[in-house]
Structure 1
Amino acid sequence: MYMLSRSKAVDVLHHPLFWNAEMRLSFRRDASDRVELEDRESESELLNTLESIAPVALGGKWDEKMESAFINDIGRYRRYKFDSVRDLLRVIRNKLNHYRELPQEIQRILGQIPEGFDCYFSSRFPQLLIEVYNNVIHSYCGEEEFLHKYSRSNRT
């Protein structure tokens, strides 16, 4: 007899789809910090996997889903690859960490932290969070202590 495995209610409630805006932003920032540790020059399995989710997570080049004023603003500080998940995570992290320093126009575009800011990126990249969580961070970094706050067993 084949038995279906069912998730417990507590497990479901701790799934990333049920996180609040603050937790989603925190996860994106921490995921960005973690993938920055990977060396682009070496054959990092984590980075290869991260970039392999781009078609689903990004749905195309990410600059095409954002306002030109925002793209112009991020271009003042560094060059980004608009088909890179790592670079989009870096943009989210950098804008979140430096939100108060952003021009008023860019703050208005992004919305207030945490809800507006989270909604800005979630509405443009609805699969980004779950793809990064399931296919990259949970699979490759689940045992790393600074990411434990995102696993059910360490949040209860």
Structure 2
Amino acid sequence: MIKFSKTHLFVLSISLICLVAIPMHIWSKSTKNSNGPVLHPQLFTDTISEIVADYPGEIGVAVIINNTDTVAVNNKSIYPMMSVFKLHQALAICNDFDNKGLSLDSLMTIHRDELDSQTWSPMMKEHSEPVISLTVKELLCYTLILSDNNASNFMFKKLVNATQTDNFIATLIP
């Protein structure tokens, strides 16, 4: 079972508040017409800009509204992909398992010597046994929620590799 630290819970709580507070703030400032509320992309831009200005570093945000308008804040820079590919990996694995009729409850056996002790890996910290048995669902949780590099690398080696993931994502983007 995945255990969350106080920091993870704090960040998750703030994220959830933002997901609710920002839309409510913008919704309250939206205008109404005969078809209902009209959201103004500039309100999104202004609100997001205010939020990111309070934090150090360079933060870029992009939001697509109603599949038509795109709001971008600090969009001039080229940002490193970092762990965003882990979402792509999860989508490709879920698609592959769905196509093959496999369950995400499938058990995977991981030998500790297959893992890199020099990378970020909450999974390794929580499982000290020489052979770790986790479901694909648990590996996806480690990867997506805790950004575990070993879980991600293991799934690239054993389930769906980087090329297959890239090819799958290319089918989703016109």
TM-score, normalised with respect to structure 2: 0.27
TM-score, normalised with respect to structure 1: 0.30
Bigger Cα Rg? 2
Q: Which has the higher contact order (CA 8 A, sep 6+)?
A: 1
